[in-house]
Amino acid sequence: MSLNKSKGNMYPWVDFTWNPIRGKCPHQCVYCFMKGRDVGPLRLDEKVLADNLGSGRTIFVGSSTDMFAEKVPADWILRVLEKCNKHQNTYIFQSKNPHRFCHTACGVDVAGKFPPRTILGTTLESNREYGQSGYGPQAWARVAGFLNKELDGFKKMVSIEPIIAFDHMVFLDWLREIKPTFVSIGADSKGHKLEEPTAIELDNFVVALRDITEVKLKKNLARLLLKEK
């Protein structure tokens, strides 16, 4: 069985991770915990797809590779969603390519196939562009994809991890426009020497963000919050 108990630096509110689409993620982000691992080519794993997902769980689908990346065939995505719909769980689908959550991007009705208890998520490390190579699709494109009208009515979340230096008002405006149910913020855990915000900048941002939505702070953020104290 490939349903893995959530642990380590994963979201504490997730029970399990499940990866029926496996292999080398096309984004190859510089800070990804999977980068450098020998995971083989991108593929739909039929054995994993046959797993019993149970019920009453919160499952992060696609935690080890972006199952909505451009190189992932739409029929793979639809088969994963079909499987999820057979089990009454809460599912998190997070992508740096959220425009593929929509019919207009995939050419098939992906948005209409998500299970009833779905949380759609995207990663925004910052509003700034640090170069598309090594960070995945550009940040503004992620926001634009997430704002597609086809996604109206879905519960949304934004992961700001690893948080990178940002422009306070611009970043807040982006998140205000997205209207996420909650935002999760975390730091770089592996020492990739990213340009990080100061403790004061981060504190001010969290305070302002809490006026917009619920904010979940990951334990690894303590290093930044304490850095200047």
State the pTM of this model.
0.93
How many distinct structural domains can be found in the chain?
1
Taking 50 as the threshold, does the pLDDT of residue 229 lie above it?
no
Residue pLDDT, tens place only, 35-46: 777 789 999 999
* Maximum pairwise Cα distance, the chain: 52
CATH label of the domain that carries residue 86: 3.20.20.70
Residue pLDDT, tens place only, 145-202: 999 999 999 999 999 999 999 999 999 999 999 999 999 999 998 788 899 999 999 9
CA-wise closest residue to 60 among 3, 123, 145: 3
Identify the domain containing residue 189 by its residue range. Answer: 4-226
Residue pLDDT, tens place only, 94-123: 999 999 999 777 778 898 999 999 999 999
Cβ partners under 8 Å of residue 212, min gap 6: 172, 175, 176
Report residue 131's pLDDT band, with 50, 70 and 90 as the boundaries. Answer: low
- The Cα–Cα gap between 39 and 61 comes to 17
